[in-house]
């Protein structure tokens, strides 16, 4: 083994303020960082998987949903997580991109809002004690989603 560079990481365990279920599409990395800062989250557990929240709302395989629930439970057990932010974004390849919605961003946003509502309901049915915050990200901002799956307000 050869050391590439020196870096000192904190050795203390942390209490997680939120687990964040998110896609690994790097186009939205900056907005994720800005959202974390806006929400004043210092410690979070990122759970990144293609499609992110899609794995709870409409998984391709039930094992995808099981995997994601287990990751959230691990975050809760290891870092005392009590809150989860569920995120979906525009033009997500796991949904077929914007083209799957005939390039209609309003139709896509409505669909993703309903997916976030389904994912929130499912997560509450599995882990009722969690606080869940669904969020939709498009190329113009970040949107809070209400309990009925409607796009509520821009938050970033």
Question: pTM of the predicted model, to two decimals?
Answer: 0.90
Report if residue 1 sits inside a domain.
no
Report if residue 135 sits inside a domain.
yes
Confidence of residue 10 (pLDDT cuts 50, 70, 90): confident
Report if residue 97 sits inside a domain.
yes
Tally the domains of the chain: 1
> Closest Cα partner for 133 from 19, 29, 7, 56?
19
Report if residue 61 sits inside a domain.
yes
- What confidence score (pLDDT) does residue 155 get? 57
Q: Which residue has the higher pLDDT, 62 or 151?
A: 62
Q: What is the CATH number of the domain that holds 83?
A: 3.40.1050.10
Report if residue 82 sits inside a domain.
yes
Report if residue 9 sits inside a domain.
no
A 10 A CB-CB count for 101 gives: 19
Start-to-end C-alpha separation, the chain: 43
- What confidence score (pLDDT) does residue 156 get? 47
Report if residue 2 sits inside a domain.
no
Q: What is the mean pLDDT of residues 133-137?
A: 96
Q: pLDDT tens-digit profile of 31-85? A: 999 999 999 999 999 999 999 999 999 999 999 999 999 999 999 999 999 999 9
Read off the tokens for 7: 């870096």
Residues in the chain: 156
Domain hosting residue 128, numbered range: 18-154
**For the chain, what is the total number of helices (H) and then of strands (E)?**
4, 6
Q: Say how far apart CA 50 and CA 115 lie, in whole Å.
A: 15
């Amino acid at each position: 083994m050869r050391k590439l560079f020196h870096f000192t990481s904190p050795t203390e365990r942390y209490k997680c303020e939120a687990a964040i279920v998110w896609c690994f599409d790097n186009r939205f990395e900056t907005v994720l960082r800005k959202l974390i800062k806006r929400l004043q989250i210092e410690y979070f557990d990122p759970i990144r998987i293609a499609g992110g929240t899609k794995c709870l709302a409409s998984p391709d395989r039930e094992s995808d949903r099981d995997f994601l629930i287990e990751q959230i439970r691990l975050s809760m057990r290891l870092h005392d997580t009590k809150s989860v932010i569920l995120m979906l974004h525009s033009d997500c390849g796991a949904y077929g991109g914007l083209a799957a919605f005939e390039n209609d961003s309003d139709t896509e946003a409505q669909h993703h809002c309903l997916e976030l509502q389904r994912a929130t309901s499912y997560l509450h049915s599995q882990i009722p004690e969690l606080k869940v915050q669904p969020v939709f990200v498009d190329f113009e901002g970040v949107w809070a989603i209400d309990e009925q799956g409607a796009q509520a307000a821009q938050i970033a």
